[in-house]
Structure 1
Amino acid sequence: MQKRKIIANLLLTSCTIIAFTGCFKSDSATKSYKIFTPVYKTSQEVRDNVKSNAPTPVNNPGKMYLFGAYIFLNERNQGIHIIDNSNPSSPINKAFINIPGNEDIAVKGSTLYANCYMDMLTIDISNINNILLKSFIPDMFPEKRNVGGFYMPAGKMIVDWNTRDTSMGIEIMEGQGIWKDEKLLTTGNANPWQFGLPTTWGTASATQTGTGGSMARLTIIDNYMYAVTTNQLKTVDISNANTPQITNTKNIGWQIETIYPFKNKLFIGSQTGMYIFDLSNPNNPVQGMMFGHARACDPVIADDNFAFITLHSGNNRCWTTNNELNVVNIQNLNSPSLLKTYSLTNPKGLSKQGNILFICDGNDGLKVFDATDPNNIIQKKKINMEDAFDVIAMNNLAIVSAKGGLYQYSFTNATDARLVSKISVP
């Protein structure tokens, strides 16, 4: 019996399922495509290889986490760069941790928590030159077993992709892809990352936590870590740092994307709205009201009175043409209400220090706003960069992850942001 049937999925960039059996055309000339074949290791082999490595170039920067003098920068689906940022004008790339499938990061004390596809790893980073995997929670993010429409077999993980060109009598639209016999077939101009595939692989107190960006799926408050899957909020007790335990799981809807902590609240962004959870009992988050919006991808941050939500289009997963900032009045958490909407180009991550608001507006760059009056937010500066993705602003420093690398800007007001360093993508 055939072990796997042909999988013909639309992969992130199209909204129509491609039926492979309908792709052959007897009168069609052959066309050139790329075939990506997954290379596997066992899950145990992958975990055995989680260790400190020499620093590697930043090629495809993703999410960030700031902790003390360090920046932990995700290399999408490959691992984590550890960057010494003691001197922001001259950051030093110190080490790289190989973690296939990694996207999310959180740190408390000398412990790093990071996903390895669907599993959650606990890593001792007390010596960054000799990090140690202490434990793991299996299947904490079950949806991450699905890699661009392909489900990894139990006990195995994808660590690389073999690529070759081919010519076949198959019709595939530009930017689409199909699975056939456990191989991904795409048009020659397609970027494998757009299908969820990587292009290449490759001292603090025990109570201190760091700061994640607005695109995060993980956050830490005191002795608890909170994680969102596509449909659940999971509470993880990390009082024993090396052996975290899931203590609570709540089903909260669908298309959940991001999580942001503020005081004793969690603000959770989904494609259909913003959820607010109360943490009066940190082991049992209680859902309050939900603020709904048009279906769109949805990072969110908040302060005492307002939540700031960016909605963006850009691929079929987001199901929208809306590209905007929603400012939501949360003074009454039982009745959050839309205050005002601001048009943007393709906004993603955002961050706020005082009255200065930073928004990563995709290929329109990093935008800096005076948000003193949420009803009259004024753009004060635009910094050109390609595909600005996420930003963390704190201590008068804005750190930006973008296609071109990791940027750092010093600022004292909304008009004077000045580049102090950049780790460039080669």
Structure 2
Amino acid sequence: MLKKIFNPVLVFIAAGLLMQGCIKDHCTQTYSYFVPVYKTTEEVRANIKSNAPREMELTGKLYIRGNYIFLNEIDKGIHIIDNAIPTSPKNVAFIDIPGNMDMAVKGNTLYADAYTDLITLDITDPLNAKTTKIVENAFPFRQYYGTFYADNSKVIVDWLKRDTTVNRDCDNGGFFGIDFNKNEVLMYNDMLSLPNYSNNAGSSSSSKSVSPFGAGGSMARFAIAGNNLYSVTLNDLNVFEISAPQQPSFTNKVNIGWNIETIFPFQQKLFIGSTTGMYIYSISNGNNPVKESQFLHVQSCDPVIADEKYAYVTLRTGTTCNGTSNRLEILDITNINSPSLVKTYEMTNPHGLSKDGDLLFICDGANGLKVYNAADINNLKLVTTIEGIETYDVIAMNNIALVVTSDGLYQYLYADPNNIQLLSKIKVKQ
């Protein structure tokens, strides 16, 4: 049920752990505490629908369906953006879904997580989205760390921040002098620092490809193929039957390994990224995915996309994945049972990626959006770098690249790759 609330954005924003002063061997440090705001399960579920639009603050996963963009507001819900005119997108509604981080769309049905539950919404009219089914406990617990205990009879819908200054030993950088109590939490997660977001299903590899399921970014943990919805958790692949789209049913759980991160569907295959490698599963029998192969790499966060011949994997440092490398790996998957590394390219801090024809788009964190000509994977040619934006994920299709950044949602026209033009941007709340 929704009331089983665990591990939202695990936020240990120790607010920079700012040292305020030091006299002899006595120092002070300021920390940010977060106090949960609760509502009842009934109140929360009654409000999972299209409500008035709200400003973006901390955006995450991205999904496109027709003229609409669905953009996750981490742990809060989903922005609905009318993109019929890409030069003038309109933020038209917000679906309040506490605990939401992922989504996928099939036809007029949107699937989203709400902490441990799977929410199904009818979006025939996106401005009047309505819940049609809730699959309770669809996902393993998302768990807080430390000594915080949530009130399991209610749902956390927000957090109130407050700062406190404590004394500590100057020679010890640990958390001394902190009085934790069960109603407050000092949380940690790289998800609030946009370059280090963890995890929606990969984007189309060609603008000529038309999918009835829409397209998601490469940081996805939800994917739709045929009559199935697939979702990856830390170590499992969950399978839902959606032949009746608005009435999904759980059918299978497949253990994959550990530290699973992303999922990308392509031609009856699922390409699954983990901190230690890429797994390939056949979904010829949609309800029973079968492992075909895997490729291991050094430990790192691992978004992945694929086309007919190659898989493209980005690895990065500076996250809870404990990675030590920042690079793009290109794998030959023509022999699906034995993927092999073809070429490695060094990057700064790569995140999401997308491919349209011969153009490869890579979000390189604070180094902006990089666009490559990938006609020859052994000799990628950098076409351009769009600087001045801190990038997280990208979907490139139909000559428009949608880019999620630390300060909002940008759209670029790349009909002429040598002259990429900014079409529009929606900025986050300052």
TM-score, with normalisation over the residues of structure 1?
A: 0.85
Query: Which deviations, in whole Å up to 9, do the C-alpha atoms of 1:297-345 show, x marking residues without a partner?
Result: 0000000000000001122x11122000000000101110000110001
- 1:102 corresponds, among 100, 103, 128, to 100
Q: Which residue of 2 aligns with 1:226?
A: 230
- 2:242 corresponds, among 238, 242, 245, to 238
SS at the partner of 1:209? coil
Change (3 A) 1:81 1:240: same
Q: Which residue of 1 aligns with 2:279?
A: 275
Gaps of at least 5 residues in structure 2 are: 1-9, 15-24, 198-210
> Any conservation in 2 of the 1:405–1:425 contact (CA below 8 Å)?
yes
Displacement of 1:407 in angstroms is: 0.6
- 1:255 corresponds, among 247, 251, 259, to 259
Displacement of 1:236 in angstroms is: 0.5
> Any conservation in 1 of the 2:147–2:181 contact (CA below 8 Å)?
no
> Any conservation in 2 of the 1:12–1:194 contact (CA below 8 Å)?
no
Displacement of 1:38 in angstroms is: 1.3
Alignment-mate amino acid for residue 110 of structure 1: N
Alignment-mate amino acid for residue 89 of structure 2: P
Q: Which residue of 1 aligns with 2:31?
A: 33
- 2:328 corresponds, among 325, 328, 340, to 325
Change (3 A) 1:173 1:329: same
Matching of residue 89 in structure 1 with residue 90 in structure 2: no
- 2-structure distance, mates of 1:321, 1:191: 16
Displacement of 1:68 in angstroms is: 0.6
- 1:126 corresponds, among 120, 124, 127, to 124
Once the two structures are aligned, what percentage of the paired residues are identical?
49
> Any conservation in 2 of the 1:77–1:100 contact (CA below 8 Å)?
yes
Alignment-mate amino acid for residue 192 of structure 2: W
Q: Which residue of 2 aligns with 1:144?
A: 142
Displacement of 1:162 in angstroms is: 2.3
Alignment-mate amino acid for residue 181 of structure 2: D
- 1-structure distance, mates of 2:402, 2:357: 16
Alignment-mate amino acid for residue 212 of structure 2: Q
- 2-structure distance, mates of 1:356, 1:293: 25
Q: Which residue of 2 aligns with 1:193?
A: 192
Displacement of 1:193 in angstroms is: 3.2
- 2-structure distance, mates of 1:130, 1:217: 26
Q: Which residue of 1 aligns with 2:201?
A: none
Alignment-mate amino acid for residue 248 of structure 1: N
- 1-structure distance, mates of 2:238, 2:323: 28
Displacement of 1:97 in angstroms is: 0.8
1:301-312 matches, within 5 Å, as: 301-312=305-316
- 1-structure distance, mates of 2:367, 2:176: 25
Q: Which residue of 2 aligns with 1:17?
A: none
Matching of residue 210 in structure 1 with residue 211 in structure 2: no
- 1:379 corresponds, among 349, 374, 382, to 382
- 1-structure distance, mates of 2:403, 2:336: 31
Matching of residue 78 in structure 1 with residue 82 in structure 2: no
- 1-structure distance, mates of 2:425, 2:278: 33
RMSD of aligned Cα (Å): 2.8
Gaps of at least 5 residues in structure 1 are: 1-9, 15-26, 199-206
> Any conservation in 2 of the 1:13–1:176 contact (CA below 8 Å)?
no
Alignment-mate amino acid for residue 232 of structure 1: D
- 1-structure distance, mates of 2:95, 2:179: 30
Q: Which residue of 2 aligns with 1:184?
A: 185
Alignment-mate amino acid for residue 248 of structure 2: P
Displacement of 1:391 in angstroms is: 0.2
> Any conservation in 2 of the 1:278–1:286 contact (CA below 8 Å)?
yes
